[in-house]
């Protein structure tokens, strides 16, 4: 697939995340005004709320962009998603006749504040990358390391907290929690000392369902994808997670990229799902390529320092794709809602510098990771973590925009009022 | 505390769940009309939506009952909750001057359909009853039985699925899922054969928070309580729950009572929280009595058969109260929302017939529980499970209304369309 030419010049660059081929979905505001829906194009945001209000963009009888989130568009269904892409592509394509009307509704991205692009209904986090699961097992259990027995048969998951999902750029405060060192009999209540990021991609569910769905049906329910940082307090997690799974360790914040890349924009980058090591039960088998070739990276920038990329991996390293995860999610009859967010789980590659979290990169804190001006076992106050993802086309890239978060110091006393 | 006399005669009975002292919050509809908010009083529902629309009930500038859920009332805050109770108590008290105006807005409960009383924001399920945790450990691990090491230090929990919460009276379909017998190498995909209920009480959060809260602050954030049945597929759970906790085993349905009993109605029944076996960390210590003396029971009624009460227990058997659970929930900075639902975890007592689920009652399926006309290891298709709860006052009771659900057969083929 080739770059689609736009009259927005900055969209024709080989290095922008937002060529005309992409058209990702976001919510923005300027000058403190009410947030509005828009699509990124080069260095600009196309103001869809204004275009719809003026009747230039028409997606049916009811207004879909009069709210500051994309859930109403998602609810309108896949035919509307396709219609939206077609109309906006026509408006922005090189030589578009409507250019003179549309031009007034381009907002410079660097003048805009970006908001959460959707109301997250519920948030689920999976554990579906073989390298990550194997590394974690080895780090926690040493020579007894082995994948959990169910791991090769289903995409393991836990329910997370939708209320903790924040947009890129939000500060993240180091949490307090119960922590128990191996050398002590009882836990203490203290700020986490092993605070970590997790590099993930997450599917945004755009079609509701109240019965089990096949992998093919699940794939058609996905509106798009975001890059996601599942911040994790490893010391809190180690003490709390048996027997019911992670809870407060994952509840501080989950940061997502400001742009939802629609599934349609990723279609040219579909790639085969890794062949499972054991035959999957039929209801989890992928009927075709369900992963995408999306290059991912993590960078750490200390307070006042320079950025260091500490990991480079690819979404194609996943053992289960989002569609398989969603199909599993519905097996017990669990109703799925528009706006549900399904995190892939940490995405690691086979190489040492392709691991998707510090727990793996520093091998449980034993091997510090070099960054400009220092090293990290786990995150330090003031560190900014930046995740980036992009599918590379022929002379263009489909990106998500940076997914950043700065870790700020824990409250001195969480109960001081 | 004595019975408060009402001019609604059926509210003065010693056996109604809904005396004037109670005034629980529900949502109802009649003749297929739009659902409205109401409070139960004896055999009637007081139509608050109509009373507010007519200006008889006034809780401030904005309408709170023009939506079919209680979230807006909760958002209005504790002062409004108290004002509401005061106004409705005055309307319904024996000798009330407004009786002639109010009388027209009583709806016979047996003519009404009851709906979910709130929009559940997120649902968390705890594991905070010592008898239950000890029994489960013994059933699963036999002679190696022991509480998890963290259990005595914190209320263990996992996040559940808000989308699965349904109101009493909803049918529950037996789920399919991955099941692995010890005698097989690989799992099968089949309907659950070990489907169970769990008797719980759940707190409805009425005040939002975005930072850690003390137990006293948490207590003040609770709007009220419901009785809750956390339906559980034990065979699915056994295979999936390691290492990230229960997922599809708990996602089929969670049934709540149709009435939220406000915390104010339960105040006279506060009772001491069981002294913890080990000293809790200060942020989890209860500053006063945080549990309630609420008698609870579970009954099973087979298709076309008679009801058998299979368990009788009490909410006072909990090791951690809802306020302690909520305080723990916020330790890591997890934002809490209006409408969050916090299940207590299964409530068992020390006696054999005080166990809150069939897993315990039948000791892992080994000892069938006698019911009228048969016996149960786990639930059978057609079984109706009814949970009841009530605090017993002097000549009156504060009840939740029955929390019922009928188990219907699994889909023959979940993917047939």
Residue of B nearest to A330 (CA): B248
Task: Give the A window 249-268 contacts with B, CB below 8 Å.
Answer: 249, 251-253
Whether the per-residue pLDDT at B275 is higher than 80: the answer is: no
* Tens-digit pLDDT profile for residues A367-388: 999 999 999 999 999 999 999 9
CATH of the domain at A105: 2.30.30.230
Q: Residue A146: pLDDT band by 50, 70, 90 thresholds?
A: confident
Q: Give the ranges where B67-195 is alpha helix by DSSP (H).
A: 71-76, 78-92, 99-102, 130-141
The pLDDT, as a whole number, for residue B305 is 97
Range of the domain at A390: 123-408
Domains contained in chain A, number: 2
Closest CA to A245 of B242, B277, B297, B175: B242
From the candidates B105, B131, B132, B329, which is the catalytic residue? Answer: B132
Q: ipTM surpassing 0.90, yes or no?
A: yes
- Give tens-digit pLDDT for A161-190: 999 999 999 999 999 999 999 888 899 999
Do the Cβ atoms of B247 and A159 come within 8 Å? yes
Q: Using CA atoms, how far apart are residues B129 and B151, in angstroms rounded to an integer? A: 10
Report whether pLDDT(B1) > 90: no
| pLDDT > 80? residue B362 | yes
For the annotated catalytic residues of A, the residue numbers are: 132
Q: Are residues A145 and A91 in the same domain?
A: no
Query: Does residue B143 register a pLDDT over 90?
Result: no
State whether A263 and A302 are in the same domain: yes
Strand partners, A407: A172
With CB atoms and an 8 Å threshold, state whether B244 touches A156.
yes
Out of A61-65, A313-317, B350-354, B388-392, pick the least confident.
Answer: A61-65
Which of residues A70, A90, A115 is at a domain's end?
A: A115
Cα distance between residue B75 and residue B72, in whole Å: 5
Asked, for residue B307, whether it belongs to a domain, the answer is yes
What single-letter DSSP state applies at residue B281? Answer: P
Three-class secondary structure assignment of chain A: CECCCECCHHHHCCCCCCCCCCCCEEEEECCCCCCEEEEEECCEEEEHHHHHHCCCCCCCCCCCCCCCCCHHHHHHCHHHHHHHHHHHHHHHECCCCCHHHHHHHEEEHHHCEEECCCCCCCEEEECCCHHHHHHHHHHHHHHHCCCCCCCCCCCCEEECCHHHEEECCCEEECCEEEECCCCCCCCEEEECCCEECCEEEEEEECCCECCCCCHHHHHHCEEEEEEEECCEEHHHHHHHCCCCCCCHHHCCCEEECCCEEEHHHHHHHEECCCCCCCCCCHHHCCCCCCEECCEEEEEEECCCCCCEEEEEEEHHHCCCCHHHHHHHHCCCCCCECCCCEEECCCCCCCCHHHCCCHHHHCCCCCCCEEECCEEECCCCCCCEEEEEEEEECECCEEECCCEEEEEECCCCCCCCC
Most distant CA atoms of chain A, gap in Å:
73
Summarize the confidence of residues A402-409 as an average pLDDT. Answer: 98
Whether B252 sits inside 8 A of A332 (CB atoms) is: yes
Provide the pLDDT for residue A183. 87
Residue B2 is assigned to a structural domain of this protein: no
Mark whether B144 and B92 lie in a shared domain. Answer: no
Which tops the pLDDT comparison, A61 or A392? A392
Residue A279 lies in a domain: yes
Sign of the dihedral through C-alpha B364, B367, B370, B376:
positive
pLDDT at A110 exceeding the cut of 90: yes
Q: Do A383 and A304 lie in a common domain?
A: yes
pLDDT for the residue numbered A196: 98
Domain co-membership, B92 together with B230 = no
What residues contact B106, with CB distance under 8 A and at least 6 apart?
Answer: B8, B41, B44, B45, B46, B47
Instruction: Note whether B346 and B265 are same-domain residues.
Output: yes
Contacting B residues, span 179-238, partner chain A, CB-CB under 8 Å: 180, 186-189, 211-212, 214, 233, 236
- The residue-averaged pLDDT of B21-28 equals 98
Instruction: Indicate whether B83 pLDDT > 90.
Output: yes
**What is the domain-level CATH number for residue B226?**
3.90.850.10
Does residue B410 register a pLDDT over 90?
Answer: yes
Q: Does the pLDDT at position A60 exceed 90?
A: no
The answer to whether residue B350 scores a pLDDT higher than 90 is yes
Residue A143 has pLDDT above 80, yes or no: no
Q: What is the mean pLDDT of residues A77-91?
A: 98
Please check whether residues A189 and A79 belong to one and the same domain: no
* pLDDT at site A274: 74
**Residue B315 included in any domain:** yes
pLDDT digits (tens, 9 = 90+) for B50-64: 999 999 999 988 899
Rounded distance, CA B375 to CA B373, Å? 7
Among the candidates A115, A148, A172, a domain finishes at: A115
When pLDDT is averaged across residues B199-228 and rounded to a whole number, the result is 98
Are B229 and B350 contained in the same domain?
Answer: yes
Average pLDDT on B111-118 reads 98
Model confidence at B142, pLDDT cuts 50, 70, 90, reads: confident
Contact assessment for residue B399 and residue B17, using Cβ atoms and an 8 Å cutoff: yes
Residues B58 and B145 reside in one and the same domain: no
pLDDT band at A139 (very low <50, low <70, confident <90, very high): very high
d(CA A38, CA A50): 9
Residues B27 and B171 in one domain: no
- Residue A298 buriedness (CB in 10 A; 0-12 / 13-18 / 19+): buried
Position A273 confidence tier, pLDDT thresholds 50, 70, 90: confident
Instruction: Return the percentage of chain B with pLDDT > 90, whole number.
Output: 94
A248:B332 CB<8 A:
yes
Q: Is residue A415 part of a domain?
A: no
Contact in structure between B301 and B388 (CB atoms under 8 Å) = no
Task: Give the pLDDT confidence score for residue B152 in this predicted structure.
Answer: 95
Would an 8 Å CB–CB cutoff place B175 in contact with chain A?
Answer: yes
Nearest Cα of chain B lies from the Cα of A1 at a distance, in angstroms, of 35
If pLDDT is split at 50, 70 and 90, which confidence band does B268 have? very high
The A residues from 43 to 72 touching B (CB cutoff 8 Å) are none
Asked if residue B342 and residue B219 are part of one domain, the reply reads yes
Q: Does residue B285 belong to the interface with chain A, where contact is any CB pair within 8 Å?
A: no
Each residue's pLDDT tens digit, B330-349:
999 999 999 999 999 999 99
Residue B235 lies in a domain: yes
Do A111 and A143 sit in the same domain of this protein? no
**Do residue A180 and residue B150 have CB atoms under 8 angstroms apart?**
yes
Question: What does the mean pLDDT of chain B come to?
Answer: 96
**Which of the listed residues B58, B85, B115 is the one where a domain comes to its end?**
B115
A220, part of any domain: yes
> What 3-state class would DSSP assign to B103?
helix
Q: Identify whether B4 is part of a domain.
A: no
- In total, the C-beta contacts within 8 angstroms joining chain A to chain B are 195
Nearest CB among B178, B212, B247 relative to A414 is that of B212
Paired tokens of A278: 């054991």
Phi, psi torsion values for A341, nearest 5 degrees: -120, 125
Tell me what the pLDDT averaged over chain A comes to: 96
Lowest mean pLDDT among A113-117, A296-300, A364-368, B142-146: B142-146
Contact list in A for residue B158 (CB cut-off 8 A) is 158-159, 244-245, 247
pLDDT at res. B344: 98
Which positions 314-353 of B are in contact with A (Cβ < 8 Å)?
328-329, 331-337, 340
């Amino acid at each position: 697939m080739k770059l689609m030419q736009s009259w927005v010049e900055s969209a024709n660059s080989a290095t922008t995340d937002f060529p005309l081929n992409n058209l990702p979905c976001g919510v923005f505001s300027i000058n403190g005004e009410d947030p509005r829906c828009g699509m990124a194009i080069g260095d600009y945001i196309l103001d869809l709320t204004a275009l719809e209000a003026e009747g230039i963009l028409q997606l049916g009888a009811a207004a879909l962009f009069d709210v500051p989130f994309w859930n109403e568009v998602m609810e309108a269904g896949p035919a509307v998603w396709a219609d939206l892409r077609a109309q906006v592509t026509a408006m922005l394509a090189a030589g578009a006749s409507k250019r003179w009307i549309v031009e007034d509704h381009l907002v410079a991205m660097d003048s805009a504040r970006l908001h959460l692009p959707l109301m997250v209904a519920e948030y689920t986090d999976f554990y579906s990358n073989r390298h990550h699961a194997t590394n974690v097992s080895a780090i926690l259990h040493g020579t007894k390391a082995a994948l959990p027995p169910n791991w090769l048969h289903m995409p393991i998951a836990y329910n997370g907290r939708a209320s903790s999902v924040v947009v890129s750029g939000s500060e993240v405060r180091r949490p307090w929690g119960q922590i128990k060192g191996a050398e002590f009999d009882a836990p203490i209540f203290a700020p986490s000392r092993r605070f970590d990021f997790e590099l993930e991609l997450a599917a945004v569910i755009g079609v509701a369902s109240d019965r089990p769905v096949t992998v093919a049906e699940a794939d058609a329910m996905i509106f798009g994808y975001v890059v996601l940082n599942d911040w994790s307090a490893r010391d809190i997690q180690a003490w709390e997670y048996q027997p019911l799974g992670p809870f407060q360790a994952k509840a501080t914040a989950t940061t997502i990229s400001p742009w939802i890349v629609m599934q349609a924009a990723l279609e040219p980058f579909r790639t085969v799902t890794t062949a499972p090591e054991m035959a999957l039960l039929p209801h989890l088998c992928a009927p075709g390529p369900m992963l995408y070739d999306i290059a991912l990276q993590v960078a750490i920038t200390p307070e006042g320092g320079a950025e260091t990329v500490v990991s480079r991996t690819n979404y194609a390293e996943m053992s289960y794709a989002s569609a398989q995860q969603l199909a599993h999610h519905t097996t017990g009859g669990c109703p799925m809602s528009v706006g549900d967010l399904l995190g892939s789980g940490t995405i690691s590659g086979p190489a040492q510098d392709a691991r998707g979290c510090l727990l793996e990169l520093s091998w449980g804190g034993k091997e510090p990771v070099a960054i400009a001006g220092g090293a990290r076992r786990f995150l330090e106050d003031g560190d900014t973590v930046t995740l980036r993802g992009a599918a590379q086309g022929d002379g263009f890239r489909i990106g998500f925009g940076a997914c950043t978060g700065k870790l700020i110091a824990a409250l001195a006393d969480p109960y001081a009022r």
